[in-house]
Amino acid sequence: MSLFDWFANRRKSGPISEDRQEREIADGLWTKCEHCDVLTYTKDLRTNQWVCSDCGHHHRIFSDERIRQLIDANTWQPLDTHIQPQDPLKFKDRKGYGDRLRDTQAKTKLTDAVQTGLGELDGLPVALGVMDFRFMGGSMGSVVGEKLTRMIERGTATNRPVIIVCASGGARMQEGMLSLMQMAKISGALQQHQAAKLLYMPVLTHPTTGGVTASFAMLGDIILAEPKATIGFAGRRVVEQTLREKLPDNFQTAEYLREHGFVDSIVPRTQLKQTLAQLIRLHQPVAAPAAVENHTPWTNGLNAAEPTHIGVDL
């Protein structure tokens, strides 16, 4: 028997089907790190909150996973899920805006680029908004602005700290001026929240750019960011052409912004929930001491019946 016949008989007797190969190596069983190319068992990567255990690279995650990581189990109460985006300008580029919305909603199972709700973070009540980059690049349209504004107002009314996890390419051009108006609306709600002496903390993730950076992303009492997140307003090339000078390699990174005072702290994702809980506890108002019955006012040893003068008579 020739070598050719031997291989031909082997193929006939034991063919390996595609289904068999798929069963042996299941799709999604392993995940390759975008930064160091190390293969990691996906289940272990999810346990480590999608942070590479070899190089510390933070894989991009979306709103459902972020809520699961930050909010205690069985405490999440979604807000305003019924609000739907509209197409008031009848905008059309390569595809009509209305068609683009329907396609993106079907693909992501989201109504728009943000999820908002109330819940508990390590036992502490919070109001949380999480932007989702899958939905048209996390762009800020009318629905994003309305949902974030209502969530902030609900947090103010219930004396909860507000947390917004930002991930956005900026304002949504398909809604024109209506999109830009959301910057002022959300900022106004945050001003009322601050007037009530309540805490607001944005968490800047990769990427946070455009009108989101120019508004509520930079209005926090404490601004946190994930490592190596891209944070900026205009693109790097636009800034270089405007300034006519070469920018540093780490320009518009979380580390660069921390060095220049725009970000207070860079927090790895695996420590984010613990850090947020600690900051909330540190900024909770101190309870007034309980009144003591039959308490005699302190008079520094003087006769309480006589007037007491403190200070120097001029």
Give the up-direction half-sphere exposure of residue 296: CA atoms within 13 A in the CB hemisphere. Answer: 7
| Segment holding 166, helix H or strand E | strand 162-168
Q: Which of 158, 290, 146, 283 lies closest to 221, judged by CA? A: 283
Asked if residue 36 belongs to a known ligand binding site, the reply is yes
Asked if residue 166 belongs to a known ligand binding site, the reply is no
Cα–Cα distance list, 142 to 64, 93, 94, 164 (Å): 21, 19, 21, 17
155-183 per-residue burial string, b: 16 or more CB within 10 A, e: under 16: bbeeebbbbbbbbbbbbbbbbeebbbebb
Cα–Cα distance list, 212 to 31, 105, 183, 218 (Å): 31, 21, 7, 8
Task: Please enumerate, by residue number, every residue annotated as part of a binding site for Zn(2+).
Answer: 33, 36, 52, 55
Binding-site residues, please? 33, 36, 52, 55
